[in-house]
Amino acid sequence: MPERRTVALVTLGCARNEVDSEELAGRLEADGWLLVDDAADADVAVVNTCGFVEAAKKDSVDALLEANDLKGHGRTQAVVAVGCMAERYGKELADALPEADGVLGFDDYTNISDRLQTILSGGHHAPHLPRDRRKLLPISPAERQSAAEAVALPGHGAEAPAEPIADLPEGLAPASGPRTLRKRLDDNPVASVKLASGCDRRCSFCAIPAFRGSFISRRPSDVLNEAKWLAEQGVREVVLVSENNTSYGKDLGDIRLLETLLGEISAIEGVERVRVSYLQPAEMRPGLIDAMTGTADVVPYFDLSFQHSAPAVLRRMRRFGSTDQFLELLGTIRDKAPQAGARSNFIVGFPGETEEDFAELERFVTNAGLDAIGVFGYSDEDGTEAATYDGKLSEDVIAERLDRLSRLAEEMTAQRAEQRIGTEVEVLIESIEDGVVEGRAGHQAPETDGLTTLTGVEAPEIGQFWRAKVTASEGVDLIAEALEQVRLPRTSGAEAPGAGE
């Protein structure tokens, strides 16, 4: 029996990319590929790139070059680029980076197995010429669902074909029956689920809509089925992701659909925590705030994309709001949930930003009480409106403001963490190493918002929830004394048919 083809997926960028990688893994496993963790053990290394900002693009190129270095020294025979950078630049990336044996766009995802086999066999798959993906769907959101089947939407897969896997090694049973089109690439008790793809906003600094396309929601049944499948895999926290979760449902005829869906997801057996990310402040509505602060098992966590707070800068960004409006929004949230978590990102040095504008942003960050803050210095992005603006600031001015706001953000988030000392939190254990038990409280999202170290835990296990009292803080991180285990694990439920590991 021939040895199975092996493939490793290296994922960069955001949680949306992680979902896309797991869909690719599901497609490849369904077609007989063996997924391995280490690129050095794979026939093909697939790098899921990020194309958002210059630093992310550099990381993607570095990852491709690192994988290329494996060729000739082990099993690796080919390196393939997929993801946002591959979609955004296509042939241009292939020409600039001959070390990549293939550059595949989103349209190649449904045929990923054939594409990799062609490349592995020494064949050539021509990289695509990038196009504005916003033009692939109707302008009217109400007309998009009927046209969606003809458009590649990574992360939207519902079920894989009910076909057996050929040439499985002895001792492995073939898959049978329909299965979720996704394979988990780790055993973390937290996983993301895509609510939608694309974005209809036209922020002048952002290129994402051009290569991710117009906004389109996934159907609630698909979201629920995937969340159920994840729960059967041992996932205890579901994180809802998209480019803009506050728009969910507008193309399905109900802009309030997320409020209903939150309760349905939280009611799934095994799902003990639901988190919503990627929220637009200008689209926050009272009903959504009520649902996020008042629905059982939905954590009051608000990932709000403020970007700036000076009205003049926001207008040039093609966004809306002001320092006082944003503070009022946060006040409304905390009136309903005083310990609610809140995070945001900010761009400094945007074209035309004055010292007065920057001072206004400092005023907002000083008074907002955010738990986590990301700060970025402005840089031109290919194809964006802002790249054509006058009033560009010097690199020295941008660097100085980046340093100033970063130091202020560090001070204010540490202060916010210190304010949580003496409060009780519910911590999901995610790591146990050398006797150190770490996890996240409700106000801490995966990867971005700090950790909580638990002390005094008896027989800790990954996936447990513990009620704990915060005793100290270190920057954005907390130290908490365990009080009691809560949300006990399920005692029933089997793995989804054909779901793999």
Per-residue model confidence as pLDDT tens digits over 265-313: 999 999 999 999 999 999 999 999 999 999 999 999 999 999 999 999 9
Residue 157 has pLDDT above 90, yes or no: no
User: What CATH number does the domain containing 40 carry?
Assistant: 3.40.50.12160
What pLDDT was estimated at residue 33? 95
Last residue within a domain, chosen from 390, 419, 448: 419
71 is in an annotated binding site: no
Find, among 270, 165, 235, 208, the residue nearest to 22 by Cα: 235
Q: For residues 53-67, give the mean pLDDT.
A: 85
170 pLDDT above the threshold of 50: no
User: 380 and 448: one domain?
Assistant: no
186 is in an annotated binding site: no
With a cut of 70, say whether residue 500 has pLDDT above it. Answer: no
What Cα–Cα distance (Å) separates residue 369 from each residue in 395, 403, 437?
29, 19, 27
Residue 495 clears pLDDT 70, i.e. is over it = no
Q: Is 470 annotated as a binding residue?
A: no
| Residue 71 pLDDT | 86
Classify residue 494: in a domain, yes or no: no
pLDDT at position 58 is: 86
Residue 163 pLDDT exceeds 50: no
**Is 14 annotated among the ligand-binding residues?**
yes
Is residue 330 domain-shared with residue 452, that is, in the same domain?
no
203 and 300, same structural domain? yes
Task: Determine which of 84-93, 121-130, 153-162 has the lowest per-residue pLDDT on average.
Answer: 153-162
Residue 494 has pLDDT above 50, yes or no: no
CATH number at residue 435: 2.40.50.140
Residue 344 has pLDDT above 60, yes or no: yes
Q: Are residues 238 and 363 in the same domain?
A: yes
How would you classify the pairing of strands 465-474 and 477-486? antiparallel
Nearest to 238 by CA among 195, 198, 200: 195
Average per-residue pLDDT for the chain: 90
Give the model's pLDDT for residue 180: 65
pLDDT at 171 exceeding the cut of 70: no
Within 13 Å of residue 190, how many CA atoms lie on the same side as its CB? 25
Question: Which helix (DSSP H) or strand (DSSP E) does residue 114 occupy?
Answer: helix 112-120
Are residues 191 and 91 part of one domain?
A: no
Q: Is the pTM of this model over 0.95?
A: no
- Would you say residue 493 lies in a domain? no
pLDDT, tens only, 208-237: 999 999 999 999 999 999 999 999 999 999
Backbone angles phi, psi at 18, to 5 degrees: -65, -40
Residue range 247-275, pLDDT digits in tens: 999 999 999 999 999 999 999 999 999 99
Q: What's the total number of domains in the chain?
A: 3
Query: Does 73 count as an annotated binding residue?
Result: no
* Same-domain pairing of 90 and 49: yes
Domain that holds residue 356: 181-419
Is position 145 within any domain? no
Q: Is residue 499 part of a domain?
A: no
Q: What are the pLDDT digits (tens) for 1-28? A: 467 899 999 999 888 999 999 999 999 9
pLDDT tens figures, 108-150: 999 999 999 999 999 989 999 999 999 999 999 989 998 888 8
Q: Which residue has tokens 């309760």?
A: 263
Mind listing the pLDDT tens digit for each residue in 352-406?
A: 999 999 999 999 999 999 999 999 999 999 899 999 999 999 999 999 999 999 9
Does residue 84 have a known ligand-binding role?
yes
- The answer on 374 and 450 residing in a single domain is no
378 and 445 in a single domain? The answer is: no
In a domain, 401, yes or no: yes
The H-assigned helical ranges of 31-82 are 54-68
pLDDT, residue 191, reads 96
**Beta-carbon contacts of residue 463 (< 8 Å; ≥ 6 apart):** 189, 234, 236, 428, 429, 489
Give the domain CATH number at 344.
3.80.30.20
* pLDDT score, position 155: 85
Query: Would the CA dihedral through 152, 217, 301, 51 be positive or negative?
Result: positive
Q: How far apart are CA 55 and CA 473, in angstroms?
A: 30
pLDDT tens string 434-493? 999 999 999 999 988 899 999 999 999 999 999 999 999 999 999 999 999 998 654 433
Instruction: Please provide the DSSP assignment of 323-356 as one string.
Output: HHHHHHHHHHHHHH-TT-EEEEEEEES-TT--HH
Domain-embedded: residue 334: yes
What confidence score (pLDDT) does residue 159 get?
57
**End-to-end CA gap in the chain:** 22
Portion of the chain with pLDDT greater than 90, in percent: 81
Kind plus residue range of the DSSP H or E element containing 96: helix 91-96
Length of the chain: 501
Q: Are residues 243 and 259 in the same domain?
A: yes
So what's the pLDDT on residue 239? Answer: 97
* Position 30 pLDDT exceeds 70: yes
Tokens of 129: 């010429």
Could you report the per-residue pLDDT of 402-446, keeping only the tens digit for each? 999 999 999 999 999 999 999 999 999 999 999 999 999 999 999
Q: Give the pLDDT confidence score for residue 499 in this predicted structure.
A: 32
Give Dmax (Cα) for the chain: 71
- Of 377, 404, 419, the one marking the end of a domain is 419
Question: Among 419, 438, 473, which residue terminates a domain?
Answer: 419
Closest CA to 172 of 320, 35, 362, 345: 35
* Residue 150 is assigned to a structural domain of this protein: no
Residue 451, in any domain of the structure: yes
Q: Do 38 and 84 have their domain in common?
A: yes
Same domain for 413 and 431? no
Q: Distance (Å, rounded) from C-alpha 19 to C-alpha 24?
A: 9
> Do 381 and 456 belong together in one domain?
no
Q: How far apart are CA 219 and CA 500, in angstroms?
A: 25
Share of the chain above pLDDT 70, in %: 92
